[in-house]
Amino acid sequence: MFLIVGLGNPGAKYERNRHNIGFMAVERIAERHRFPAWRRKFEGLVSEGTIDGERVLLLKPETYMNDSGRSVGEAARFLKIDLADIILFHDELDLDPGRLKVKVGGGNAGHNGLRSTSAHIGNEYARVRIGIGHPGSKDAVIHYVLNDFAKAESAWVEPMLDAIAAAAPWLAKGKADRFQSDVARLTSAADEPPAPKPVAAKPVAPNPIRHPAGERAAKAKSAIAENLKKWLASKTRKHD
C-alpha cells in the first residue's frame, strides 16, 4: 500500500493558498481516480482507493502545516507502511512556478511541514516538490505562501494539477522518474498554443482564356462578310 500525503492547512480560508498546493494535488488525484468521500482518521482527512490496481491511501493532515508529521506518522505506523512507499506533495519556493521535481530524502529547505514529517517518520520518503516561485525577499515569504494564488496563476496551476492526477499511476507503481517526466510532458503540451484551424480556400471563378489569334480571325471574318454585303447591295442597285 502507498501513502500519498498532501501538505497544507485545514480550513476554508487557506483553501487556495500557495502553501496548500499539496492538498490541491491529492484532491485532484482523488477526483480523477474516483476515490470515495474523505473521512476523518489519523488526525486528518483520508480517502482510500486504487490507482492502476495498487492500493493507495490519500491523506490531508489537519494538524496544520507545522505539525503535519504527527498525522503522517500515525497513519504510517498504524498501516505499517515503509518509508519507501510514502510520497509527500508540497509547495517549493526554490522552483519556478509550474515546475515539478521528485526527490527522496535530502534537506527540508526550511519547509516546516517537511521538518515535522521527518521528525516523526525519518527522512527517506519521496517528496514531490511543486514550484510556486519565490517572492524575492525572505521577509515576504510568509505573506506570499499564506496568500491565494492570483487569478493569472491558474494558467499553470490547473494544468499542473491535471497532469499530476493523470500521471499518478506511475507513483503507484513506484516509478517516480516516469511520473516526473510524464508531468513535464503533459504540462509542456498544455503550454503550446493551439494549432491554427485550416481555412477552406474560396472557389475561384475561372477566368476566360483569351486567344489573340482567334480574335483576329473573327474580326477578319466579320470584315469579309460586311464587304460581301456591300457588294451585293451595289449589284442590286445596278439591275434596278
Order of strands across the sheet that contains 86-92 = 39-41, 44-51, 54-61, 2-6, 86-92, 126-131, 100-104
pLDDT at res. 160: 98
State which residues form the domain around 146.
2-191
Neighbouring CB atoms inside 10 A of 169's CB total: 17
Instruction: Kindly state the helix (H) or strand (E) to which residue 222 belongs, with its residue range.
Output: helix 212-239
pLDDT at res. 109: 76
Q: Are 132 and 21 in contact, with CB atoms under 8 Å apart?
A: yes
- pTM value is 0.79
Is residue 239 annotated as a catalytic residue, yes or no? no
Residue 211 lies in a domain: no
213: left (phi over 0), alpha (psi -120 to 50) or beta: alpha
pLDDT at res. 189: 76
Residue 239 lies in a domain: no
The vertex-182 CA angle with 108 and 59, nearest 5°, equals 50
Neighbouring CB atoms inside 10 A of 206's CB total: 6
Residue 228 lies in a domain: no
Residue 104 lies in a domain: yes
pLDDT at res. 129: 97
CATH number at residue 171: 3.40.50.1470
Query: Which residues on neighbouring strands pair with residue 61, listed in sequence order?
Result: 44
State how far the Cα of 180 lies from the Cα of 128, in Å rounded to an integer: 9
Residue 214 lies in a domain: no
Residue 185 lies in a domain: yes
Residue 229 lies in a domain: no
Q: Please tell me what DSSP assigns to residue 125.
A: S
Residue of 19, 33, 90, 111 marked active site: 19
Instruction: Count Cα atoms within 13 angstroms, Cβ side, for 83.
Output: 13
Q: Are 6 and 59 in contact, with CB atoms under 8 Å apart?
A: yes
Q: Please tell me what DSSP assigns to residue 13.
A: G
- Overall domain count for the chain: 1
Residue 226 lies in a domain: no
What parts of the chain have a pLDDT lower than 50?
194-195
